[in-house]
Amino acid sequence: LLVQIAKAFPRARVVGVDIDAQSLQSARRRAQEAGVADRIDVRQGTVAQAAQAERFDAAVMVEVLHEIAPGLRAGVMRETARALKPGGWMVIVDETYPTTLEQAREAEFKFPLHTGFEELLWGNVIPTREEQEALLRQAGFSGEIERSLIGEGFTVLATRKPA
């Protein structure tokens, strides 16, 4: 993800945050191989630890929200909101769990249901639309939340920090 962002935005400086050392090692290696390591900074820890005084134009979480322990999600979202500049973009790509049994029968929820089942052993819990939106609202994102479906069942959520 970091490499793709660095390539798509050639003047951007990109900071990657993860709690897992192995993921960070792999990100560093890929950045080196892609020749963009000079614009990518990879930091281990929480968002609050990794982004103390800096403020960013955008925060992007791809396949991360459902991997964050449910009890930590509100805090991570608040820390991420705080790390953004006013007007900064919060973009989340993740699966959305069906809220009702009727939704569970719809094609767009097939993949999220499968992921939820498969990753249960890792402790991952896929959030519903209501849970995703409540997390964003609680973190202070009071504006429009754009929502679209891509691929086999990934949701893209985009909203901006109030100016």
Ligand X SMILES: C[S@@+](CC[C@H](N)C(=O)[O-])C[C@H]1O[C@@H](n2cnc3c(N)ncnc32)[C@H](O)[C@@H]1O
* Residue numbers at the binding site for ligand X (CB under 6 A): 1, 17-20, 23, 62-64, 67-68, 72, 76
- Using CA atoms, how far apart are residues 18 and 40, in angstroms rounded to an integer? 14
> At its nearest, how many Å lie between ligand X and the CB of residue 24?
8
**Residue placing its CB nearer to ligand X in the complex, 64 or 134:** 64
CA–CA separation, 105 and 144 (whole Å): 28
Task: Tell me the residue number closest to ligand X, measured at CB.
Answer: 1
Which is closer to ligand X, CB of 1 or CB of 103?
1
* Cβ 45 to ligand X shortest distance, Å: 8
The DSSP annotation for 6-33 comes to HHHSTT--EEEEES-HHHHHHHHHHHHH
- Give whichever of 92 and 109 is closer to ligand X, judged by the CB atom: 92
Do the Cβ atoms of 31 and 6 come closer than 8 Å?
yes
CB of 15 to ligand X, least distance (A): 12
* Tokens of residue 16, six digits: 């990657």
